[in-house]
Structure 1
Amino acid sequence: MKEESTQEAEKQLNGKSKDANSKIDAIKELIFGENIQAYNSEFEAVKADIIAKKEELQNLISIVETELLQNIDTLSTDINIRITDLENTLNDKIETLDDKKVNRKLLSDLLIKMGQKISE
């Protein structure tokens, strides 16, 4: 029996608590209702603006990313062409230098032969 009366007392307190909360909410609505609605609408407008700006920034980022990748590809191709040209130029210079360079052994042999012919 004590348990039943305790449960009934809790139900009444919970009911009163809920009633008190709803009354407080009603008072808040009366006092701040217009301001809260205005704030909510402003927050929604700001939120929508932020979402729009975020999408715009994401689009710009993807455009810039695409352009950067294209520029990197172009630059890479350019560098490879220049490196190939430099390698070819270097190889040509080396071949020209080899043709102009005289072998020391051959030069010494020729000088010895010239010296012998002069002495004869």
Structure 2
Amino acid sequence: MAKDPQQENEGEIKQQQQVDTRIAAVRDLIFGENILQYNTEFADVYDKLKALENQTKSNLAESVSQLENKLADLESLMDHKFQDLSEDLDRRLADLDDEKADRRKLGKALEKIALMLQE
């Protein structure tokens, strides 16, 4: 009888697993302590990296928030200054208009005086 191809594959898989188990056993005998130490050290390094990443994200978010607040404050200050300057300019223009109006009144008054003197 011919063997079923599925049974042949299963046999090969079992044989490969036995070889892998033997290799793992030899590796553990030779490097067991070192591998455990390395794994522990790598786990510590990964934990520290994760903590630093979280801290960096937190610091970045805080910095962005502070910058946004400072920009909002600056915008408010600039609006206030612009409004003050605009009010000052309007006031000065009104003062100039008043001064011009006074000159006109003076001119008309002088004309009236000149007309009176001519009579």
For normalisation by structure 1, the TM-score amounts to: 0.74
2: distance between equivalents of 1:7 and 1:83? 85
Q: How many pairs are equivalent? A: 119
Aligned to 1:2: 2
Aligned to 1:46: 45
Aligned to 2:99: 100
Q: Note the alpha carbon deviations across 1:3-23, whole angstroms, 9 max, x for none.
A: 34x555544433222211111
Structure 1 position 114, deviation (Å): 7.6
Structure 1 position 66, deviation (Å): 2.4
Structure 1 position 41, deviation (Å): 0.5
Aligned to 1:82: 81
Aligned to 1:62: 61
1: distance between equivalents of 2:31 and 2:3? 42
Structure 1 position 24, deviation (Å): 1.0
1: distance between equivalents of 2:85 and 2:8? 96
Q: Aligned-pair RMSD on alpha carbons?
A: 2.9
2: distance between equivalents of 1:77 and 1:9? 80
Stretch deviating more after TM superposition (78-87 or 92-101) = 92-101
* Identity across the alignment (%): 26
2: distance between equivalents of 1:9 and 1:66? 65
Q: Note the alpha carbon deviations across 1:12-55, whole angstroms, 9 max, x for none.
A: 43322221111111111111211211111011001111111122
- Give structure 2 stretches of 5+ with no counterpart: none
1:41 partner letter: T
Stretch deviating more after TM superposition (43-52 or 7-16) = 7-16
2: distance between equivalents of 1:10 and 1:97? 103
Stretch deviating more after TM superposition (75-84 or 8-17) = 8-17
2: distance between equivalents of 1:72 and 1:109? 55
For normalisation by structure 2, the TM-score amounts to: 0.74
Q: Note the alpha carbon deviations across 1:64-89, whole angstroms, 9 max, x for none.
A: 22222221221111111100011011
